[in-house]
Structures are given as structure tokens and as C-alpha cells.
């Protein structure tokens, strides 16, 4: 659903330099390495679920212009130390004006009974959209996107309020 993490040649080297003897990398370091060395465009992921969940979260948050849409990014961590050691298969990240960001981590499982996880959101099996588009879209837009958007909403709203104050101050001058 997320696609395996694909790294650049520089990324392979960077992961090897940081990894311990069993391949362990601390959570924050793994996130930074994935961000820096992914081959995938985080604003336009190729996997249907990854792409659609990003668009659905943007819709939930009311992000409409291109600049704000580019602030919302999807990263796969499948097969990386973040997945293996920290239980995170991927995340959606919102980059605020000023450089800060907020991430919501996800763990994909085929176990319908799984409720314990290390990630912020657990994603159960979602059908391939070519096999059951209706169910796919319902799960993305009605179940997972609202959960993720709820965790990002306060950061997005704070950024929008700051932007509005700045615009009002500029207009008052």
C-alpha cells in the first residue's frame, strides 16, 4: 500500500554509516535519512493508497492552493530501520511556514485484531482500487484521512491564523 522505500545511492551509504551492527538506527535519525534520501516525490507518491491518502488529508484540512498542498508530504518507510525497529511503515508530514513540521506516523497490518502499535495511526488492509474502488475510497476518505487530519489540524490552523494576522497587519499599514 505504501510501496517499499526506494533510496538514492547516497542514501545507501548514509544508512550504512549510521546503522549499528544489527542495522538499528534511532527513530529520529531514520526519519531524517528517509526524508533526505527518498527517490519518491513525497508530494506525488506513485502507490494508489499513498497518493489518495495524501489528497484526502489535504481535503480534510482545507488545503487548496499549490503552495499549501506542497507542504503536505507522504513518505514510505517500508523495509527501513524505522519499519523494522520502530513499527512505522510511513508517515504524512505537514511543513509549516517557518520550517517546523508535524508528522503523523502509520503502521499497516493485515491483522484485523491488531490494536497495539507504535505508530499514530494503524491502517488495516485496504482493497486494491482496481478491485473495489468504492470500498477503497470509503476507507481512505471516511476512516483514515479524518484520523490523520485530526492529528495535523491544530498545526495547520495555527499556521493559517498566523498567516491571516500577517495579512491583516500588512493591509493595515
In tens digits, what is the pLDDT along the chain, a chain of 173 residues?
898 999 999 999 999 999 988 899 999 999 999 999 999 999 999 999 999 999 999 999 999 899 999 999 999 999 999 999 999 999 999 999 888 899 999 999 877 666 667 899 999 888 899 999 999 999 999 999 999 999 999 999 988 888 888 888 777 76
What separation in angstroms does the CA of 115 have from each of 68, 88, 110, 166, 169? Answer: 33, 14, 12, 43, 47
Closest CA to 95 of 125, 68, 62: 68
What separation in angstroms does the CA of 8 have from each of 5, 13, 34, 37, 85? Answer: 10, 9, 10, 6, 21
Q: How far is CA 55 from the centre of its chain?
A: 11
For the chain, what are the domain ranges? 9-172
Q: What's the predicted TM-score (pTM) here? A: 0.90
Amino acid at each position: 500500500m505504501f510501496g517499499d522505500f526506494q533510496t538514492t545511492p547516497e542514501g545507501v551509504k548514509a544508512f550504512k554509516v549510521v546503522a549499528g551492527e544489527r542495522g538499528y538506527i534511532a527513530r529520529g535519525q531514520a526519519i531524517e535519512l528517509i526524508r533526505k534520501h527518498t527517490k519518491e516525490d513525497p508530494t506525488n507518491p506513485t502507490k494508489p493508497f499513498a497518493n489518495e491518502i495524501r489528497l484526502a488529508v489535504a481535503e480534510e484540512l482545507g488545503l487548496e492552493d499549490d503552495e499549501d498542498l506542497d507542504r503536505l508530504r507522504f513518505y514510505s518507510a517500508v523495509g527501513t530501520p524505522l519499519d523494522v525497529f520502530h513499527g512505522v511503515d510511513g508517515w504524512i508530514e505537514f511543513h509549516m511556514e517557518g520550517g517546523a513540521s508535524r508528522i503523523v506516523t502509520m503502521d499497516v497490518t493485515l491483522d484485523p485484531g491488531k490494536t497495539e502499535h507504535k505508530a499514530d495511526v494503524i491502517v488495516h488492509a485496504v482493497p486494491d482500487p482496481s478491485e473495489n474502488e468504492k470500498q477503497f475510497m470509503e476507507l481512505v476518505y471516511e476512516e483514515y484521512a479524518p484520523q490523520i487530519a485530526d492529528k495535523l489540524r491544530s498545526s495547520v490552523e495555527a499556521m493559517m491564523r498566523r498567516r491571516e494576522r500577517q495579512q491583516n497587519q500588512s493591509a493595515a499599514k
